[in-house]
């Protein structure tokens, strides 16, 4: 099952500059695993030492932050969009 993944600027060096790619998988974790297979090194710096996503990276399934869903185990379906974005602050 293929879903669309939106790639932020900082990760486009792995995707030959592409800002959107297709990936296979039934969960965010599987999608990331597929991205690593397609683009070696893609996930190299995404994870903290404890295996969790680094706090500086946010991943959304459609519009929702996966930290409010099931984190890396959040399920994805073929018409979903996965968005990877840097975390920024504000006020």
Partner 1 sequence: MAEDLKCRECGKAYSAQPAAMCEECFGPLEFNVDYSQLAGILTREKIAQRAKNMWRYRELLPITNVPAPGASIGFTPLVVANNLAKHWGVQELYIKNDAVNFPSLSFKDRVVSVAIAKAIDFGFKVVGCASTGNLANAVAAQAAACRLKTCILIPSDLEPAKITGTLIYGANLIAVTGNYDEVNRLCTQIAERYQWGFVNVNLRPYYAEGSKTYGFEILEQLGWKTPQHIIVPMAGGSLITKIQKAVQEFQKLGLIEQSPCRIYGAQAEGCAPIVNMVKQGLDRLRPVKPNTIAKSLAIGNPADGIYAARVMRQSGGTGESATDDEIVAGIRLLATTEGIFTETAGGVMIAAAEKLIRSGKIPPDESIVLSITGNGLKTQDAITGSVKITATIKPTFQDFQRTYEQGGEAWQ
Site of interaction with partner 1 (CB under 8 A): 8-10, 13, 19, 45-46, 52, 54-58, 60, 63, 65, 67-68, 83, 85-91
- Minimum gap (Å) between residue 16 Cβ and partner 1: 16
Q: How far is CA 87 from the centre of its chain?
A: 13
Give the angle subtended at the CA of 26 by the CAs of 17 and 29, to the nearest 5°: 60
Residue 52 or 73: the one with the smaller Cβ distance to partner 1 is 52
Residue 26 or 29: the one with the smaller Cβ distance to partner 1 is 29
Residue 11: partners with Cβ closer than 8 Å, 6 or more residues away: 42, 84
């Amino acid at each position: 099952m293929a879903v669309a993944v939106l790639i932020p600027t900082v990760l486009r060096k792995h995707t030959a500059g592409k800002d959107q790619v297709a990936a296979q998988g039934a969960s965010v974790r599987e999608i990331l695993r597929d991205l690593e297979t397609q683009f070696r090194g893609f996930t190299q710096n995404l994870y903290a030492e404890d295996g969790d996503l680094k706090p500086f990276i946010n991943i959304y399934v459609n519009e929702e932050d996966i930290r409010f869903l099931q984190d890396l185990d959040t399920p994805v379906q073929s018409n979903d969009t996965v968005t990877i974005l840097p975390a920024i602050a504000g006020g």
